[in-house]
């Protein structure tokens, strides 16, 4: 285990549904990240939070909405998604933004139908 836990592991949702992905880290890290991994593509950074403040939003559509209530928890709220949003969503954390090793969760496999 890497110390980063994601739930759920698998999620199937309709395009009109609203769901949330959860990430929790027990490493005392200050930075947390959401990545999207589509088939045959490199990991794409979506959001970065450093000390609970969003420091980066890589032109992600508004149907993805992150929330970081504290430095240990990170959420990704999903609504009115499209089938092309189906992917593996990975959460990661590091000691500080851009430094130290990034520890990844197991990911949530999302399928939009």
Partner 1 sequence: KNQVEQSPQSLIILEGKNCTLQCNYTVSPFSNLRWYKQDTGRGPVSLTIMTFSENTKSNGRYTATLDADTKQSSLHITASQLSDSASYICVVSARNSGNTPLVFGKGTRLSVIA
Nearer to partner 1, 56 or 67 (CB): 56
Q: x/- contact string, 45-84, with partner 1 (CB under 8 A)?
A: x--x-------x-x--------------------------
Nearer to partner 1, 57 or 82 (CB): 57
In angstroms, the CA 8 to CA 111 distance is 12
Residue 80, φ and ψ in degrees, nearest 5? 50, 50
Per DSSP, what are the bridge partners of residue 74? 23
Among 11, 74, 76, 90, which residue interacts with partner 1 (rule: CB under 8 A)?
A: 90
Helix, strand or coil, per DSSP, at residue 8: coil
Q: What is the DSSP letter of 111?
A: E
Nearer to partner 1, 78 or 105 (CB): 105
The answer to whether the CB of 94 falls within 8 A of the CB of 102 is yes
Instruction: Write out the residues near partner 1 by the rule CB under 8 A.
Output: 2, 4, 6, 40-43, 45, 48, 56, 58, 88, 90, 92, 97-99, 101-107, 109
């Amino acid at each position: 285990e890497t110390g980063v836990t994601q739930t759920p592991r698998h999620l199937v949702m309709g395009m009109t549904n609203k769901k949330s992905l959860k990430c929790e880290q027990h490493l005392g890290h200050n930075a947390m990240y959401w990545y999207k991994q589509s088939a045959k593509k490199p990991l794409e950074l979506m959001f970065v939070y450093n000390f609970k403040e969003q420091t980066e939003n890589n032109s992600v559509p508004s149907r993805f909405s992150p929330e970081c209530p504290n430095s240990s928890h990170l959420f990704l709220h999903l609504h009115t998604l499209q089938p092309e949003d189906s992917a593996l969503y990975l959460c990661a954390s590091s000691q500080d933004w851009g430094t130290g090793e990034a520890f990844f969760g197991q990911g949530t496999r999302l399928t939009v139908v």
